[in-house]
Structure 1
Amino acid sequence: MPSLGRFSAYRLNSLRALMHHHQCDALVVVPGVDSRFSTGASQVTAFLLFDLFETHNPHFIRSKFEMDVFEDFIICIKQNEVHLYCNAVNHTLLLPFTTHWPNLRVHCASESKMSNVDEYENYKITVFQMLVKDCKRLVVPCLDMCGAMGSEKFTKMMIEEWPIIQSYAYDTEHQCSREFFTLSRDIIDIPHELRLLVNRIDPVYLETTLVRALLSFMGTFESVYRLFDSLVESKQLSSRANPNEPLFSVYQHSAEIHGLLPPYLLYGSDSSKQNLVAENIESKLSDLQMMVESDHMVIRGYDQPSGIVCERTNFIQQPNNASHLTDHKVRSEKKLRQIYSKLLDILWKATEAFNFADSDIDQTVSKAQNELKCHLQSESFGSLEINLTYPWKNPTDAVTLAVLSGAVYDIEDIGGSSMGSVVAADTLLISTLRLNDICLSRKVINLTATIPPTCLWTRNPMPIDMTQFTSDKKPIFNEQLDIILAPANTPSSITVNCTCFEDYVIISGKRIGISQVNLSNVLYYRPVDMEQPELLEFVLPPSSYNTSDFLTSALKCCILNGSIDEALEKFQKPTKFRETETLRNENSSSNMSIWLMLKPKTKAKRLFLEQVAPVWRAKGLLRQSDHLPNRQAIRAAFITTVLSRDTHSILSDLRSLSFSQLKFDSATQAGLYSLNQLMTEQPSAKAWLMIHQSELRHIEASWSLDTSVEGISSAYDYALCCGIHLKSSNVPPSNSACADEILSVLLRNSEDKDISLLWTHSATNNESSLTETQDNICREMRPKPLHITVVCGTVGSRKDNVVKNVVDLVKEDTHWIQMSPATPSDISSALETAVKEYDSLLGSATESRVRIRGILLCPGTCGARDVLNAVHRLSSNESTKQLVHSVRIGCVVTCVDTRAVFIDGGRMTFPGLLEMLSEGWTNYILSTGPPKSQQVAATKFGVKMEDVEALLHSVNPKLSQLPAPEGHVERGHVLEALLDEEAFNGPGLKRARLLSYPSLNTTLGNPRMHAVTLRFARPVERVRFTNHLKAIFANLKPWPFYGNLYSITGQIGFTGEPDKIFDVLHLTLNGISRISVNTDDSDFLPKRKANKPFWLTGILAAPPAASKESDEWLANQFANWLRKSAPQQEAIRPPLRLSDLSKADLEKIHEKYHLHPLPAGWYYTGSYYVNMNGDKSFQHPNFEAFVQEYLEGENTKIAARNARIVNHPIPDLFSEPS
């Protein structure tokens, strides 16, 4: 299966595009019991999670948890982020499918919450309330997509019955009602559009859903043919063997796709155009009695959920020794077969033409119809047509399902009576590989090609009479062999009875009639792999090229090109192959042949070698060939081997299993989805995918590049951005050469080249060795480029230590060119400077024996993609474009400290980390955290370390993890890996980069990590500074994180310690905060002489797009944060007013003045004051005067203090020293 990462993100973005199209704030998917098992929600869940609950069904059955627990999650897709609510049980199950979603927030209910039902439900409602907060318009999948064409309409009240919505309406914690969910929001459902989206054929859909439907469909067709076998062989008609049953039972139990007609099975004159195009099901069936009187039948199978269609015309002939056959009857039968044969020829030629990237599909279909009219000018018929239809109405998709059909209606016999119609149709999977508007390649898979193009049944219960062909000589061999067919150059094989005589062969079978082949030359091919079948090529005499009457209509497509030299030429240059290799190529002058297979370890092979081979060798008919077999024959042999292994594997696995085990375990693993598929001898899904692996690679590439890539105007640009260099060129290559190289990488491990190694062929080894020698000579003649080791990582990953450590350890016979750009935009200039230095070193005689290496420390969260984009920018400049081919990335390492992987409370990975770890863009993960013995159990957000490691592994399981504790690279194998010059250019990595670049280029804007460096000359207070460092983590802000401070490095001084400079390292997420005395005198003295010896660099989260305003805002924010640690200027105090005095202040003033002399007539009793008039008071009579005196005294002090502050201000931290 292809990497889920790209297609998981693609499916997510597809849903987001629908949400944006309908101007919605979010799309909320609620599966399971919380939505009353809504069908629409389940279908969208299956789309996003790749049929998780179907493919893992055995796991759920064996689990101790109920299914409701596994389905207890909510997905909320917003414009810039995705929220996932889950629990401790299904979290690990969902992780592989959701890891690649950008800006993902995970809200996971812990095991402790799950143990308390009330707390568990309250947490879910709290999360749900947070998810839909401020969302005024929502898409909520509810209705069944397959029933979207029906009359059922979505209303808001449908979701008011959902338990999650009802729980939202009442706040159990505060025992109060909330708003009704649907009253304050606009809720919509778009089942029809979701249905079209879910059925788009991406590689994962193809490998799971479409292949399953195809194999089931082919099993149904085989069931029809087997019933017809029984019907033809029986002496009396029986309704028990009605061939109609499999076709129409499948049709009646499927949902209808609008615009496609139902299946049919019609005999003879019943196959009129009126019946074929009618929509009512009654006109699609013929009475069994018609079969007795008819010479042909037409059949149409239709799998409605997938849209797969197949139409065939089959023939029923009287026994060859039948005495009642009239000349009129024979000529009419021959006319039908000739017209059908011509129809097939033209349809197959059109199918082959679709493979050419420069062909127009619609024009090809139109030309095919005109050609058919031209060929049938002399025939009498009602009408004809050739059509190409798209079941899902998506002709512009990168991968689309199409039905190519042709029909000649109401053909008249010699007497003018209608004999009925002939029809043919195949379902094609068309994959178009485009780079923006450039069509690079097109590939067509004929999904229904293995269904025989025609069958020929003989209405004859008697055994074959050999005397009707030749003399009464006894055969020397009579066994079953496989004969190779290649309709539309799609090889397959069928089993036939092969009866060999001394100079001719009779080929017969239940559905192919009887044919005699006269022998002139027989070639024998032996494979290197003994599991492959051996091949027999019956070379036909030239006199039979233009007439193939010696073969029945069912075997016409078994005649293949037999020219060894031409086959070899086409094999070695498959891109130049433009003509069909079958008999239908009228202009071919090469030999034509019939090919049969001798399967290993069979009785037929042993008897042939013992009884037939000696006789034919003695007569000079048989000889062994040293050349490669025909390309189609090689592929047919490969397919036969795959199917044979598949059959043995399935039978050995299923032989001892019960029905329940077959249903849930082994059947799924083997790719079998029905007993009918097993009983009709259809291949498993695994075998089908192995057979079509070359086409599947093309489909994967088509889907991955089906996105407009900004800044790419040619194949050369795209190759540079993905690090693809042509080996044979040291100058900018042409666009066509780059396009060929891109195709070569994308479609690497060509299946034809792989399977050719299984056959003996002397010329191949000589040519490959010659090509390798020429490549080595060219490589030695070209100047060697500068190989660069790229070191990237997130903030706090200690990647700077890695660079310093590598340069310090590898010094012998090595000259390092170090690059440390401050910003992503500086990478281009750093590379330009490095290349110029490299060129000057190459010209130096002293450096002739020294290995020159480059090492690049990426700023912020930049990675290999940003470095290659910088290379691309160099290529667009006329003065620097020649430098591009002097730079090669040798190895890319991503430094990761597991303590700093998560942000936002542990709900989101660090921005840019997933992109850096994507397949193809890095070679190794350097674990720069503490050693295992000192590793903490969880991050500062409480995420367990084993969960962090599982996340990193799920992002890219192919990555190797190397230890580099605290950034120290000490082990030899780690250094060896970092110095590898070809690690980044492996074929698999190059292909992964080509496939993933469009999706990474369109990833939602993550916050940019912006470095701000401040220089200053004044010390700060140690206590204030350390307290502010500790407060950074607690003050981290949620999305979009702008202004968050994640790292601080630099050198500062503290008040009271004037002769010391301190090194500062603070990593917010790692929990590292170190302040140490700088003891490096060489570094100390220059900085002390500078006007501003102190400096700090902070890395802050900034908006994705760089702008002067945002950078200034971040610089001011960082400066204000640092000012808080400097000695603080005392504030100017305002004058003291009476209202400022508290009750305690007044009591103190009274206490001070309560014994002062009293006015005349007052005296103090010790408890209160009394005058001569008898008035009593607890305050001194002059208390107000005392208060005023106190205020005047305090204000005098305040004025003096304020004057001192004004006259002696504390300078700003960033002011110039005096």
Structure 2
Amino acid sequence: GKLYFFSDGILFSDPHHGSISISKNHMTSISLYDGDSTSIVAALFIDFKSSLLAHLPIEFHAQDNFLMIALFPKTKIYKAFYSQVFSSWKNQTNSGLSLRVVQEEFLSVEQKKLHSSVQKLFNALSSSGERCRELKISAALPELERFVQHFTVSSVSHEPIMRAHLPILLQQSEIIPDSKAESDKVVITIITGLPGCRCSDLCAFLVTFNKERGRWMVYRQTMDSPECFSAAHFQRYLSGVLEAQQNHSVRQSPYTKKNKRLLVVLQGYTDVIDVVQALQTHPDPDVKSSFVIGAVNTCVEPLSCYMEHRLLFPKFLDQCSQGLVSNVVFTSHATEQKHPLLVQLQSLIRAANPAVSFILAENGVVTRNEDIELILSESSFSNPQMMRARYLMYPGWQYEGKYGAGSVFPPMVQICVWFNRPLEKTRFVTKCKAIKSLFKPSPFSGNIYHIMGKVKFSDSDKVVEVCHNTSSNSLSLVPVQEGPTPPDSRSDNRDCSSQQEFFLVFIGCSLKEEDIKDWLRETAKQKPQRKALKTRGMLTLQEIKNIHVKRHLDPLPAGYFYNGTQFVNFFGDKMDYHPLMDQFMNDYLEEANREIEKYNRELEEQEYHDLFEQKT
């Protein structure tokens, strides 16, 4: 076809459509996009009035009422347009319409799509070989690239993908549409890590340091559960939080409302994806839409990462996984940044999660404001790159919680024992320090790696929080601050009169509850043993000497005298001991056995309670 430009319009002549004239009276605007490059197809976009539709062939009708005329670079029409038409149309003012040169961001989605197809056709015609064939196919099938992109995303898993997330995965959008305002949601900050990683220390620091950020709530897993994380318990907790929040909001003035934050502290062999899926699969849609995960942070204590040599504890790398974890917080060696162990772990974690941020927080204390902002981020988890990685790493995570996190290997057992009697501090510390020397190699049966809980020692009335990490052989005994405590989760199933006050959680491989109780009994006050009656053969040489010293001046039998150093009889025989020494020893044994019998009787009368016996 041929194209003619006039001062008042355009004439297009084509054998298939005949002659089509487009007067400027039917136009609303004329725009030119050429990308400021001679390798980009120049596109002339003509927005027209609906009155022109009656004069256009049906195939030229568009929803947005615009036409595009493509001018391929280095062609005659391209050169003629810029040399003869461009300047006159751009400076023309008598008709009320002038040519505007626009940038790509001012084009509509449909205009960008149309120009992209024409650009691909131009590239195909300008190329040769295999690349030419690919470009020609792409140009002939404008939707092929979109199909391939969609196929790439959908082929990862058999599970469906949420409609709202599809534009993010196809990189068509960077914003997730949400029906509920972000300001109305409770932001969840997850802090996880292996036992002994000082998650609780970081949590305490954040709550204390950031009170001005709003109202804080803290969720911790129940200690007496055999599971590291209970999805059902977490979901019930979220329901309770939402109900309490709604009741509080009714009574609260809108001017005094503060943002709500929930810190989820999970210290154990927990998969973060289980926590995410517990929220996504909450049976109450109101609860599900009222919470949003802000960021996931993993605490790492370098000395507590390896079971043996370079064998990592289970779930270590899973807790640093790409697509879920935004920050890894190192809670020790913060002042030794070149420490070989720290450097080695950072390299390992970086290989598993290239985009993760490293934060140094000795004993859970964060020293930089930028790091605190990272930990408490409200949008890190929803970052488009994180979401794309999440769909790739955890197929089905968003759909009915169908992603299975996998089992813990080597299997770790968590046993919680409750008791209500004090322990002996010295015995307890000695037993804890001796655990590491009793470690067994693979399969690690009976190895105790972590002990934590609350106890009372006989030398004090204060309750002490215990945290023992066997790998680093560190024992922490911190008095519990007095104040209100949350209700015990066990109260649902036990009678209040039988509640026990103290507990310890033992984590290790193939542990048995009876073995743990026997171990713990040895740290309590031991029941005194009955004393055996003395016999002549049990007397020590020192005891015999003491008897002699005490009674060597007792009256002598007839025929004996004492010369000051020895005893001499009638015949001149000398002895070192009193002639009645046998009688003296019998008297001594008789008196000693009376004392032993008295002690044993008193011992029998004493009441002794086993460590795990219920108080009455």
Q: Is TM > 0.5 for Structure 1 vs Structure 2?
A: yes
- The 5-angstrom pairing of residues 151-162 of structure 1 reads none
Structure 1 residues 602-661: Cα deviation after superposition (integer angstroms, max 9, x where no partner): xx35x654457667999x9xx9999766847614625877999xx9xxxxxxxxxxxxxx
Alignment of 1:749 with 2:154, yes or no, is: no
Distance in 2 between the 1:536 and 1:1013 partners?
76
Instruction: Report the Cα distance in structure 2 between the residues aligned to 1:1199 and 1:640, rounded to whole angstroms.
Output: 110
Letter matched to residue 317 of structure 2: L
Deviation at 1:855, TM superposition (A): 2.0
2:553 alignment counterpart: none
Instruction: Provide the rounded CA distance (Å) in 2 between the counterparts of 1:642 and 1:1040.
Output: 62
Question: How much does 1:1080 deviate?
Answer: 4.5
**SS of aligned partner of 1:704:** coil
Distance 1:524 1:881 in 2: 47
Which letter maps to 1:744?
P
Shift of the alpha carbon at 1:1067? 1.8
Q: Which residue of 2 aligns with 1:821?
A: 221
Instruction: Report the CA distance shift for 1:1135/1:530 in structure 2 as closer, same or farther (over 3 A).
Output: farther
Instruction: State the one-letter code of the partner of 2:201.
Output: N
Corresponding letter in the other structure for 2:477: I
In the TM superposition, 1:49-68 aligns within 5 A as none
1:971 maps to what in 2? 368
Shift of 1:953: 0.8
Return closer, same or farther for 1:1023/1:568 CA change in 2, 3 Å cut-off.
same
User: Are 2:430 and 1:1064 equivalent residues in the alignment?
Assistant: no
The answer on whether the counterparts of 1:786 and 1:838 sit within 8 Å (CA) in structure 2 is no
Q: Secondary structure at the match of 2:298?
A: strand
Pairing 1:855–2:253 present: no
Q: Write the distance in 1 (CA, Å) between the matches of 2:301 and 2:80.
A: 72
Q: 1:809 aligns with which of 203, 209, 217?
A: 209
Measured in 2, the distance between the counterparts of 1:1130 and 1:843 equals 62
Write out aligned runs for 1:729-1128 (5 A): 738=162, 740-746=163-169, 748-750=170-172, 784-812=184-212, 814-822=214-222, 824-825=229-230, 826-846=233-253, 848-849=255-256, 850-875=258-283, 880-903=284-307, 905-933=308-336, 937=339, 944-998=341-395, 1001=404, 1003-1006=406-409, 1007=411, 1010=414, 1012-1020=416-424, 1022-1037=425-440, 1044-1055=447-458, 1057-1058=459-460, 1062-1075=464-477, 1078=479, 1080=481, 1095-1101=502-508, 1114-1128=512-526
Which amino acid in structure 1 is aligned with residue 523 of structure 2?
A: S
The amino acid of 1:895's aligned partner reads: C
Q: Specify the SS of the correspondent of 1:983.
A: coil
| Structure 1 residues 641 and 794, CA gap change in structure 2 (3 angstroms) | farther
The question of 1:705 aligning with 2:157 is answered: yes
In 2: Cα distance, 1:795 partner to 1:1079 partner:
19
Alignment of 1:83-122 (within 5 A): none
- Measure how far apart 1:1017 and its partner are: 1.5
Partner residue, 1:323: none
Unaligned runs of 5+ in 2: 1-10, 22-29, 45-56, 90-98, 397-402, 486-496, 545-585
SS of corresponding position for 2:286 = helix
With structure 1 as the length reference, what TM-score do the two structures score?
0.35
* Secondary structure of 2:282's aligned partner: helix
The equivalent residue for 1:297 is none
Alignment-mate amino acid for residue 979 of structure 1? L
Q: How far apart are 1:957 and its partner, in Å?
A: 0.7
Distance 1:815 1:632, change over 3 A: closer
Return closer, same or farther for 1:535/1:1041 CA change in 2, 3 Å cut-off. Answer: farther
What is the rounded CA distance, in whole Å, between the counterparts of 1:1095 and 1:1116 in structure 2? Answer: 17
**Partner amino acid for 1:1010?**
Q
Is 2:330–2:359's contact at 8 Å kept on the other side of the alignment? yes
CA contact under 8 A between 1:891 and 1:922: conserved in structure 2?
Answer: yes
Residues 198-237 of structure 1 aligned to structure 2 (within 5 Å)? none
**Matched residue type, 2:261:** R
Indicate conservation of the 8 Å contact 1:820/1:856, yes or no. yes
Q: Is the 8 A contact 1:527 1:533 kept in 2?
A: yes
**Residue type of the partner of 1:749?**
Q
Letter in 2 for 1:828: Q
* RMSD of aligned residue pairs (Cα, Å): 5.5
2-structure distance, mates of 1:1029, 1:1053: 16
Q: 1:564 to 1:947 in 2, by over 3 A?
A: farther
Q: Distance in 1 between matches of 2:288 and 2:480?
A: 42
Tell me the SS of whatever aligns to 1:932: coil
Letter in 2 for 1:888: V
Shift of the alpha carbon at 1:979? 3.1
Q: Give the drift of 1:521.
A: 7.2
Is the 8 Å Cα contact of residues 315 and 408 (structure 2) preserved in structure 1?
no
Separation in structure 2 between the aligned mates of residue 698 and residue 920 of structure 1, nearest angstrom: 20
Amino acid at match of 2:262: G
Q: How much does 1:955 deviate? A: 0.9
Contact kept, 8 Å, 1:526 with 1:535, in 2: the verdict is yes
What is the match of residue 47 of structure 2? none
Could you tell me which runs of 5 or more consecutive residues in structure 1 were left unpaired when the two chains were aligned.
1-501, 506-515, 538-560, 570-589, 599-603, 648-679, 710-714, 720-737, 755-771, 939-943, 1085-1089, 1104-1112, 1150-1188
Q: AA paired with 2:332?
A: G
Match of 1:527 in 2: 34
Higher relative contact order (CA 8 A, sep 6+): 2
SS at 1:1001's partner residue? coil
Q: In 2 relative to 1, CA 784–629 (structure 1 residues): closer, same or farther, beyond 3 Å? A: closer
CA distance in 2, matches of 1:536, 1:846: 56
Where does residue 116 of structure 2 map in the other structure?
634
Between the aligned partners of 2:437 and 2:288, the Cα distance in structure 1 is 46
Partner of 1:193: none
Distance 1:1002 1:855, change over 3 A: closer
1:526 maps to amino acid: Y
**Higher-helix-fraction structure:** 1
- The amino acid that maps onto 2:318 is E
- Asked if 1 retains the 8 angstrom alpha-carbon contact of 2:448 and 2:509, the reply is no
Deviations 1:823-844 (A, max 9, x none): 5222111111111122122222
For each residue in 1:476-495, what CA deviation from the matched residue of structure 2 results, as whole angstroms up to 9, or x when unmatched?
xxxxxxxxxxxxxxxxxxxx
Q: How many angstroms does 1:791 deviate by?
A: 1.7
Q: Classify 1:700/1:1066 alpha carbon distance in 2 versus 1 (closer, same or farther; 3 Å).
A: farther
2:534–2:593 CA contact under 8 A, matched in 1? no
Note the C-alpha offset of 1:533: 1.9
1:282-431 aligned within 5 A: none
Please name the residue that 2:609 is paired with.
1211
Question: How far 1:954 sits from its partner (Å)?
Answer: 0.8
Instruction: For residues 415-444 of structure 1, give each alpha carbon's deviation from its aligned partner in whole angstroms, at most 9, with x where no partner exists.
Output: xxxxxxxxxxxxxxxxxxxxxxxxxxxxxx
Deviations 1:860-898 (A, max 9, x none): 3335422233224532xxxx3432222211222222222
Counterpart secondary structure, 1:990: helix
| Percent pairwise identity | 19
Structure 1's 1083 and 1063: CA in aligned 2 closer, same or farther, altered over 3 A? Answer: farther
Whole-Å separation in 1 of the counterparts to 2:36 and 2:419: 72
